[in-house]
Amino acid sequence: MPIIETECVIYAPIEICFDLSTSIDVHQISTEGTNEKAIAGRTSGLITLGETVTWRARHFGIYQTLTSKITEYRRPYHFTDEMISGAFKSIKHDHYFEYEHGFTRMKDQFEFRSPLGILGEMFNNLVLTEYMKRFIVQRNKVIKTLAESNEYRKYLSK
């Protein structure tokens, strides 16, 4: 099972970084390349413990849906979202936040299992792991840009 770990330093308060990370609206902005849209469950605002969101997105030329649920939530330090239905066998995404000397360290641990046995494992190694890492890094760049400017207020003042 591939595990992707990323880290991003953001010069903004931990609460802002955490809330931007739980924002459905910010997620949709960060995934413009895949035209990801929230179509069921929580479809805007900040998602929290026990809530679900169903995403529709285009990956590798194919539209797919994926539903995830927030299974752990400890604002502003950690939350976990887990796939409850979708094309993968499983996805678990842990988001960690630490505040240190004027900046927030945001860490992601993303674990996934692909279907199709050995073929899925080969696809992971050849394409999917790097693709998913770029996806997470792009999302974090958007969060960083918003958090380090006044733009974050558009998404957190609702």
Q: What is the pLDDT of residue 59?
A: 82
User: Which residue in this structure is represented by tokens 């050849």?
Assistant: 126
How many other C-beta atoms lie within 10 A of the C-beta of residue 130?
A: 13
Structure pTM?
0.93
Model pLDDT for residues 67-122, shown as the tens digit of each residue? 999 999 999 999 999 999 998 899 999 999 999 999 999 999 999 988 877 776 87
- Give CA–CA dist 112/8, Å, rounded: 21
1-12 pLDDT, tens digit per residue, is 889 999 999 999
Number of domains in the chain: 1
d(CA 76, CA 47): 13
Domain that holds residue 110: 3-156
What is the radius of gyration, based on Cα positions, of the chain?
Answer: 15
What's the CATH code of the domain at 73?
3.30.530.20
